[in-house]
């Protein structure tokens, strides 16, 4: 199936990643400092042949703000491993002849789309940058001080009062990246998640016959047809006790929080014959619940993988046994990620589900706008 692949740290569409591909980083801490305001000027006119001068001190310039900007060309937070302090330009002081000081330039810091910003000192959520080009002001520059011209009045013709520029804000921020994907893959290590995303897209995550070959999230763009595609996310496999830090823990589950559908991949023919696929599914469900009830409540389909290792009668028997033990009610698909069998059917079903969800969201928004009397509610909802 034709698709496009995502390699953390840079963009390579449909190509193999370079050997020195940047390491995936999804958390960072930075310090941001806005520029200080310039001071007001104390000055009086001193010109030849002008008997009476007067105050002419200009105001100080304002300090620059610091913005975080969502940039689609940035895929990780790896740049913040080195650059951790960001400071905007300060405003210049005012000058005589009523010259206002130059304001400091704003500083824009590019971050990956999907970055969540928290204030470390207060713990509050500062913002969530999900759309390309979205800007978030994280600190505000100081205001410029007033020159003595501002204090001139009918009873004070020669004021000697000025004000100082104010200090720019400063904050310590924690950046947390949550990948923007439509579909997320969950399952035990070696369930075949990485092989499945390789089969359905052009992503090339590492695949091997030992656990935890996937050490960081991978994205793949799955193309279903003309103008029909969706983004699939593969995260490192979970094991029982992941919520308590077993294995790689649950640190990567944040990347599934924005998905609209979860595909639970289960190995129907585990190498360990004593391993029960139903127990594997239940253990992952438990870990999802402990991490987030919202994540556990997302629509989740069962994908029975490695059917190429069994004959049709064995597949039917194993499927029936698995579904009976789980009392599974959601959709079920049988695939072989290695051979690609069943992946086209799965991709088409996922695409239909995502389109239905998008259509339902449009209708819900249309109803809300109509109820509020918003004139924009007359727009046409896309089919």
243-269 pLDDT, tens per residue?
666 555 577 888 888 999 999 999 998
Arithmetic mean of pLDDT, 275-282: 89
Q: Is the model's pLDDT at 282 over the cut of 70?
A: yes
* Of 87, 104, 105, 91, the residue nearest 40 (C-alpha): 91
CA distances from 19 to 22, 23, 32, 183 (A): 9, 11, 34, 28
Residue 342, pLDDT score: 95
Q: How confident is the model at residue 272 (pLDDT cuts 50, 70, 90)?
A: low
CB 363 within 8 A of CB 355: no
Whose tokens are 């001139």? That residue is: 152
**What is the pLDDT averaged over residues 160-170?**
97
3-56: pLDDT as tens digits: 433 333 333 333 334 433 445 678 999 999 999 999 999 999 887 877 778 899
Give the pLDDT score at 273: 62
Residue with tokens 């300060």: 90
Residue 155: both structure tokens together? 């009873």
Q: Say what the pTM is.
A: 0.77
261's tokens: 């559908």
The sign of the dihedral angle between the CA atoms of 65, 66, 69, 73 is: positive
| 203 pLDDT more than 60 | yes
- Full set of structural domains in the chain with CATH: 27-177 (2.70.210.12), 183-369 (3.40.50.300)
What is the pLDDT averaged over residues 128-153? Answer: 96
Q: What mean pLDDT is predicted for residues 105-127?
A: 95
Burial 60-80 (b: 16+ CB within 10 A, else e): bbbbbbbbbbbbeebbbbbbb
Measured in degrees and rounded to the nearest 5, phi and psi for residue 32 equal -125, 140
Q: Which residues pair with 93 in a beta bridge?
A: none
Q: State phi, psi for 109 to the nearest 5 degrees.
A: -110, 120
22-26, 114-118, 162-166, 353-357: least confident range: 22-26
Residue with tokens 């105050």: 55
> Between these two residues, 349 and 371, which has the higher pLDDT value?
349
Average pLDDT, the chain: 85
Burial level of 263, CB count in 10 A (0-12/13-18/19+)? buried
Q: Are 184 and 193 in contact (CB under 8 A)?
A: no
- Give the pLDDT band of residue 62 (cuts 50, 70, 90): very high
3-state secondary structure the chain: CCEEEEECCECCCCCCCCCCCCCCCCEEEEEEECCCCCCCCCCECCCCCCCCCCECCCCCCCCCCEEEEEECCCCCCHHHHCCCEEECCCCCCCECCCECCCCCCCEEEEEECCEEEEECCCCCEEEEECCCCCEEEEECCCCCCCCHHHHCCCCCCCCCCCCCCCCCCEEEEEEEECCCCCEEEECCCCCCHHHHHHHHCCCCCCCCCCCCCCCCCEEEEEEEECCEEEEEEECCCCCCCHHHCCCCCCCCHHHHCCCCEEEEEEECCCCCCCCCHHHHHHHHHHHHHHHCHHHHCCCEEEEEECHHHCCHHHHHHHHHHHHHHHCCCCCEEECECCCCECHHHHHHHHHHHHHHHHHHHHHHHHHHHHHHCCHHHHCCCCC
214 pLDDT band (50/70/90 cuts)? low
Counted residue by residue, the chain has a size of 383
Facing residues of 113 across strands?
none
Q: Is the dihedral of CA 284, 290, 293, 294 positive or negative?
A: negative
Strand partners, 69: 110, 135
Residue whose entry in the numeric block shows the structure tokens 């698909």: 333
Residue-wise pLDDT for 226-243, tens only, equals 889 999 998 887 776 666
Contact, 174 vs 147, CB < 8 A? Answer: no
Other C-beta atoms closer than 10 Å to the C-beta of 339 total 12
């Amino acid at each position: 199936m034709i698709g496009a692949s995502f390699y953390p740290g840079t963009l390579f569409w449909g190509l193999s990643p370079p050997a020195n591909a940047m390491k995936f980083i999804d958390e960072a801490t930075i310090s941001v400092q806005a520029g200080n305001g310039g001071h007001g000027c104390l000055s009086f006119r001193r010109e030849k042949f002008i008997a009476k001068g007067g105050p002419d001190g200009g105001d100080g310039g304002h300090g620059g703000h610091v913005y975080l900007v969502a940039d689609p060309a940035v895929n990780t937070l790896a740049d913040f491993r080195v650059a951790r302090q960001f400071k905007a330009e300060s405003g210049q002081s005012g000058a005589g002849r009523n010259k206002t000081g130059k304001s400091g330039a704003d500083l824009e810091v590019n971050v990956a789309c999907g970055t969540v910003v928290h204030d470390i000192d207060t713990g509050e959520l500062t913002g969530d940058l999900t759309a390309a080009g979205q800007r978030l002001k994280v600190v505000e520059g100081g205001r410029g001080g007033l020159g003595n011209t501002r204090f001139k009045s009918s009873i004070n013709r020669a004021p000697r009062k000025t004000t100082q520029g104010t200090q720019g804000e400063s904050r310590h921020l924690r950046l947390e990246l949550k990948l923007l994907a439509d579909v997320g893959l969950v399952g035990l290590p070696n369930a075949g998640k990485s092989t499945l995303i390789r089969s359905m897209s052009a992503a090339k995550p590492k695949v091997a016959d030992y656990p935890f070959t996937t050490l960081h999230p991978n994205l793949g763009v799955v193309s279903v047809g003309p103008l029909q595609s969706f983004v699939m996310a593969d995260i490192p496999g979970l094991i029982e006790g992941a919520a308590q830090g077993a294995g790689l823990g649950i640190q990567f589950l944040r990347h599934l929080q924005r998905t609209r559908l979860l595909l639970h991949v289960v190995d129907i023919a585990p190498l360990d014959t004593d391993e029960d696929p139903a127990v594997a599914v239940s253990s992952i469900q438990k870990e999802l619940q402990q991490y987030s009830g919202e994540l556990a409540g997302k629509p989740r389909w069962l994908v029975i993988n490695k059917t190429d290792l069994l004959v049709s009668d064995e597949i039917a028997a194993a499927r029936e046994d698995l579904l009976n033990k789980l009392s599974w009610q959601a959709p079920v698909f049988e695939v072989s990620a290695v051979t690609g069998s069943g992946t086209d059917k799965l991709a088409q079903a996922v695409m239909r589900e995502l389109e239905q969800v998008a259509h339902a969201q449009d209708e819900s928004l249309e109803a809300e706008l109509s109820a509020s009397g918003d004139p924009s509610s007359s727009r046409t909802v896309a089919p």
